[in-house]
Amino acid sequence: MTDIFAEPNVLGAEDETLEPVKKVSIVISRGSLEGVYPGLIMANGARMEGIEASIFFTFFGLHAIVKKKMNKLKVATVGNPALCVPDAMGMALPTFLGAIPGMSAFATYMMKKEMEKIDIPPVGEFIEMIHDAGAKLYSCKATVDMFKLKPEDFCPQMDKVLTVGEFYELSAGSQIIFT
């Protein structure tokens, strides 16, 4: 029986012909807490491994770099069939419970509490850490225009507003990851 928590045997680690990942471009399109953190964690992990990383924020994922919204993201409780209690990963909550007033605030509080226990920083601090580590942060021009956002709406770590075409140009040679 194998130990699932043992050091992973990287697929193809024995095959010296595989090229290591050198560059990732991560697309964050959801503005919920569980929609933003996977991309931030992946970008942070990439930078820690010396991998070039950029994040393209589009649609509601843009909330992660909008100053007024970045530290107010909530867990999506309505229509989230995977929602469960952190201390009991097997105990799923029925989706109708997500509609109860205050459920999103409660779920967000519980999730943030659990993340704090394992030293995952709040969104604003995490964005700053990732950017300071060398990751590039871009916002989608179409979304910026649609939401009528201005440069002063964004956190100072946002590097540039890009069209999708410009994002693809900058992503040449990257592994593109959608979270």
What was the pLDDT predicted at 108? 73
Q: Does 128 share its domain with 171? A: yes
Summarised one tens digit per residue, pLDDT across range 94-104 is: 665 656 677 77
Determine the Cα–Cα distance for residues 159 and 170; give it in Å rounded to an integer: 13
* Positions of E strands within the chain: 23-28, 52-57, 84-85, 88-92, 136-140, 160-162, 175-178
Residue 1 confidence (pLDDT) above 60: no
User: Which residues constitute the domain of residue 81?
Assistant: 76-119
Predicted confidence band at 119 (pLDDT cuts at 50, 70, 90)? Answer: confident
Predicted confidence band at 12 (pLDDT cuts at 50, 70, 90)? Answer: low
Summarised one tens digit per residue, pLDDT across range 14-25 is: 556 778 889 999
Backbone angles phi, psi at 56, to 5 degrees: -110, 110
Q: Does 42 share its domain with 112? A: no
Tally of residues, the chain: 179
Position 4 in a domain: no
pTM: 0.80
Residue 89 confidence (pLDDT) above 80: no
CA angle 171, 8, 110 (to 5 degrees): 75
Assess contact for 51 and 75: CB atoms under 8 A. Answer: no
- Kindly report the CATH number assigned to the domain that includes residue 57: 3.40.1260.10
Summarised one tens digit per residue, pLDDT across range 21-40 is: 899 999 999 988 889 999 99
Q: Does 32 share its domain with 103? A: no
Instruction: Report DSSP state, residue 18.
Output: S
